Amino acid sequence: MGIIGEHVSTIFIVQTKIDLWRMRESDGREAWQHARERIASRAASSAPTADVFAVSAREFALGTIDDDEALRERSGFPALLAALDRTLEVRARNARIARAGAVAGETIARTSARLRREASLLEAEPGELQERRDRSEAQIAERERALVRERDAVARAGLERERWFTARGDALADDLVRALGGALDVADIERLRDRARLHSLVDATAAQAFSRFARESAADTARELERVARAHPALRVADVAALRLGGEPGVGAWSRDLASGLTSTIVLGGLGGPTLSFVGGVAAAFARHARGAYMKRELGADLGATFFPTLEADVRAYVAGIAAKLAAVYAELAETIDGERRDVRAETLEPIDRALAVVGDARAAVAARERLRSAIETLTAIDAQLTEATAPALESREGTRGDVPAPVVRRASAFDSDAYDRGLRAERYRVVVLGALRRGKSSLINAIAETRILQDDAGREATFPVHVRYGDVERAFALEAQGLWREIPLDRAIAQAAESPVLIEVPWKMPRELVLVHAPAFDSGDEGAQQIAMAAASAASEVLALFSRQLSDRELDVYRRVAELEKPMLLAHTIADNETAAERRNVVELAGRYLQGRNIPVRRIFTISALDYLEHVHTGRPAAAWNELGALRETLRAHAEEHMQRQADRARRAAAPAAAPAATGVSSRPNLRDALRRFLGREP
């Protein structure tokens, strides 16, 4: 689930056969309810957003046959089916609506602009029209030649990409066999004999190999395709790639960016194809032999003779299939560019020819103007109807529990940067925790605070900054338009963060002036997320930027903009639990090279696991030696204390001159500005 959770936004866990677990236990609850709690608890570490559904297929079948509504409800199936409808059918439908609406909107905009240009031509003189036509002929010829060159370049790039991808399949097959050979060699034979444990071992090993291959290959491919898209804005490259690779545009990994969609498709396809077949073959070999008759020696012989050669062939065939689908993406883009070449002459010259045909004929010119005006009005009306029709799909939030999930998020409330600035106190040491979706901002803040303050899904719900700082008791506040903080119920804090910035006070061991700021994910789909994240960073004393696995181009672009604010920056590689020591080192070294290449100065890169650190806090067992969350926590503590010391030194220096007049009998007046700030309710 941890592997899948990196690539899939919604996970369902189905606990089956609860009709066999109806016996009551000491607390009066049925045994299946205790089992469900254990399942949910274990799932929380790897897939915190997963829903666990407990069902009985037998009771559902009997309830359906006997038309017994109570038995059907007791089976748990109605809740599961309703959730599936919401998250699969509705999300896919809304993604299609959004995509169709976007394409239609672009077509309407282009057509309206062309009609307006044609209307303006009717006002020109005949000589001017003829001169424009002659000039356009030369420009069109050059444009057609340029489009032919671009079409051919994209077609060639597709063939080269197919060869490039296929060649890399050999290296992937070698890498996978070598990794699996080592993992199986050191594993206990009883673990390999247990198919579930064998599957877990093989998946964990194969996922690392497929992920490395996918990240590097997808990033390179996405950069090339995005260059094509930038040259031709009308090309919907991500949509074409999603459909060619068997995905649904705007849903799941394809709702993020092109590189994410490609990476997820490659990894999940590899685990569900070659890896699955390999596990099936090894498990079948164990099943054919009596216990004790098929041991490491026999397995090793079969691995070398049969299983590994078959796996290598399967991996090469799988990568070749991906390569062919990518070649089809390039071919479709080349065809679209060729269509643009075929249309450019008609779209440019035909409006001029129609204007020349009616020049000098006042009645015909008036009729032409009226026709164009009517067409533009019709398109405007269609555009308005289209916007109204697609609004429910666009405004719905994606999620498993909402009424209508959808791939696009739009803000309900505008971000008031002036109120935000007025609500902040200069003496606080604000550390803005900045990162993309699923980078573990909530878990990290909880680990630094050593208590659970934010829910795991806060990153999805909170579209405004959430400030966390010391307080004698747990309280929550919402920022109002005047820059004042109004107290709200604590359990409403995250929901309120969808409407305004929020402050949560909690008794903790960190410095009292330290404020941790959970910034909204800048790739959440919220139109203003980047603006709000940058506003929070602008008001920060220090920025803690998060990434996992590999820094994406989008993250690097945002962090480069933050670096231009000249704020001190720390970087944290999060969710490193499932990586080997070598992989963790590689991730950090690669991040360092990326940062240097973008000229982004970072004081230090930490490798952390919030889950491992919190287990250390709650159980007392030592944290993993590589987990630097404790060091990060102490670094933030030291920076906050240094800040507080500087504040105290400045206050003493400012107070020193004021003491002299007091000694001569002149009373000093209070600082009215500070008193007014306190009265007006600045950040508590």
Q: Is 282 a member of any domain?
A: yes
Is 111 a domain residue?
no
Considering the domain architecture, whether residues 211 and 329 belong to the same structural domain is answered as yes
Whole-angstrom Cα distance, residue 261 to residue 242?
7
pLDDT at residue 411, as a whole number: 40
Domain boundary at 75, 95, 121, which? 75
Bigger pLDDT: 251 vs 582: 582
Q: Residue 557: give its domain's CATH number.
A: 3.40.50.300
Q: What is the pLDDT of residue 460?
A: 57
179 and 69 belong to one structural domain: no
Of 626 and 373, the structure prediction assigns the larger pLDDT to 626
**Within-domain flag for 652:** no
- Asked whether residue 92 is domain-assigned, the answer is no
- 638-670 residue pLDDT tens: 999 998 888 888 778 877 755 444 444 444 444
pLDDT, greater one: 414 or 276: 276
Query: Which whole number is the average pLDDT over 528-536?
Result: 85
Confidence at residue 677, expressed as pLDDT on a 0 to 100 scale: 47
Same domain, residue pair 435 and 296: no
pLDDT at site 524: 66
Within this chain, do residues 69 and 149 fall inside the same structural domain, yes or no?
no
66 and 158: one domain?
A: no
Q: Tell whether 188 and 333 lie within a shared domain.
A: yes
Same-domain pairing of 425 and 335: no
Taking residues 586-593, report their average pLDDT: 85
Split at pLDDT 50, 70, 90, the class of 232 is confident
Kindly state whether residue 491 falls inside one of the protein's structural domains: yes
Least confident of 118-127, 400-409, 633-642: 400-409
Task: Identify whether residues 591 and 449 lie together within a single domain.
Answer: yes
Counted domains in the chain: 3
What separation in angstroms does the CA of 598 have from each of 267, 522, 555, 602?
Answer: 28, 19, 11, 11
Domain end, chosen from 31, 50, 75, is at 75
Determine, yes or no, domain membership for 395.
no
Average pLDDT over residues 70-75: 92
pLDDT on residue 655: 74
Domain end marker among 75, 101, 130 = 75
Does residue 310 sit in the same domain as residue 425? no
- Provide CB contacts within 8 A for 481, sequence distance 6+: 416, 419
Average pLDDT estimate for 303-332: 93
The partner residues of 607 in beta bridges, in order of sequence, read 573
Same domain, 431 and 578: yes
pLDDT tens-digit map of 77-90: 999 988 887 777 76
Q: Say if 501 falls within a structural domain.
A: yes
Separation between Cα atoms, residue 36 and residue 52, nearest integer Å: 7
In a domain, 150, yes or no: yes
Angle of helix 126-186 relative to helix 195-231, nearest 10 degrees? 160
pLDDT at residue 578 in the model = 66
The b-or-e profile of 598-613 (16+ CB within 10 A means b, else e) is eebebeebbbbbbbbb
Q: Is the pLDDT of residue 379 over 60?
A: yes
Same domain, 59 and 157: no
Range of the domain at 220: 145-339
Is there a single domain that holds both residue 314 and residue 425?
A: no
Using alpha carbons, select from 451, 425, 585 the residue that is nearest to residue 514. 425
- Of the candidates 279, 100, 269, the one whose C-alpha atom is nearest the C-alpha of residue 192 is 279
Whether residue 527 has pLDDT greater than 70:
no
Greater model confidence, 485 or 255: 485
Average pLDDT on 363-375 reads 84
Q: Give the model's pLDDT for residue 279.
A: 93
